[in-house]
Amino acid sequence: MRDMPELPEVETVARGVHDRIHGEMIQGTWFSEKSEPFKTPASEMETALTGCRIDAVRRVGKHIVFDLTPSAKTAEDVDLQWLVHLGMTGRLLVSDVDVPVPAHTHGILQLSSGRELRFVDARRFGRMALHRQGFSGTGREPLEITVKEFRELFRGRKTSIKAALLNQKLLHGVGNIYADESLFRAGIRPRRAASRLTVKESARLHASLQAVLKSAIALGGSSVSDYVDAAGVRGFFQLKHRVYMRTGQPCLVCGSPIRRILVAGRGTHYCNQCQR
């Protein structure tokens, strides 16, 4: 089981990084040669970030947003933000400078406390970028959307409900694990057409999605320090998930074997008895 940063994990990381480094100044930066995956060129990030104060670190969707105050304020940079997306394998570490830099480190912020914020990402699906207009994400926040708005997201969508849940332009923050888990808890098959959910079903899905995300955030809280300071999440997910990666194992509700199919190109896990 690998760590796959979705909303709860990103929330956990963002809170942990905020608690450790907010208020610090960025005294310098380093970015790896492999700058191709970066949305903003490394030289541009270097120039913009150096001298900034980190006011806050927070989550928007699956993005980690650093709210910055530049040293020499210009109108252009008043709302400067630094965005980090962890992709599949990205980690943010707060380390003392004498701690060896891990393999696959692609970005470092040198902080006024003498520590460093390090972005480590073996697979390089992660991204770093500057943003200047107030980043609000690509879609709606799953934890804030009302049940009525939630239902309206899927109106006219020919695609499956699972694909719709994963579509970051509709909701942002939901990934493969929480899509499967919330559909199981709502009793809805992943291949159901999004536009065909009944009012009751979309209400159940809204409730179960929020419940599972909140529950995972609560569990993630205890993993914050481990995650940020050291190696990574040691699979606190398995304790909670009921279908994800449980192919062939008995459903925890009815006992029938959990099935695995491909939906929207993703491994998708569900119970054929409990989900209709």
The site for DNA (CB under 7 A) is made up of 2, 4, 6, 36-37, 61-62, 85, 87-88, 103-104, 122-125, 127, 157-160, 163, 166, 168, 175-177, 264-267
Backbone dihedral region of 261: left (phi > 0), alpha (psi from -120 to 50 degrees) or beta? beta
**In the bound complex, what is the minimum distance in angstroms from residue 226's beta carbon to DNA?**
17
CB of 195 to DNA, least distance (A): 8
Tell me the C-alpha distance between 54 and 259, whole Å: 46
Beta bridge partners of 102: none
**Spatial distance between the Cα atoms of 15 and 139, rounded to a whole number of angstroms:** 21
In the annotation, is 234 catalytic?
no
CB of 80 to DNA, least distance (A): 19
Q: Which of 15, 59, 62, 185 is catalytic?
A: 62
Rounded distance, CA 32 to CA 123, Å?
14
For residues 20 and 185, which CB has a smaller minimum distance to DNA in the complex? Answer: 185
Mark whether 266 is an active-site residue: yes
What letter represents residue 140's amino acid? R
Instruction: Report the C-alpha gap between 187 and 205 in whole angstroms.
Output: 8
Burial class (CB in 10 A: 0-12, 13-18, 19+), 4: middle
CB 81 within 8 A of CB 130: yes
Pick between residue 240 and residue 266 the one whose CB is nearest to DNA: 266
Question: Smallest distance, Å, CB 253 to DNA?
Answer: 22
Task: Identify whether 6 is a catalytic site residue.
Answer: yes
Nearer CB in complex with DNA: 75/103: 103
- Judged by CB, which is closer to DNA: 25, or 143? 143
Query: What residue type is assigned to position 207 of the chain?
Result: A
Active site residue 5: yes
> Encoding tokens for residue 66?
């650093």
Report, as residue numbers or ranges, the catalytic residues: 5-6, 62, 266
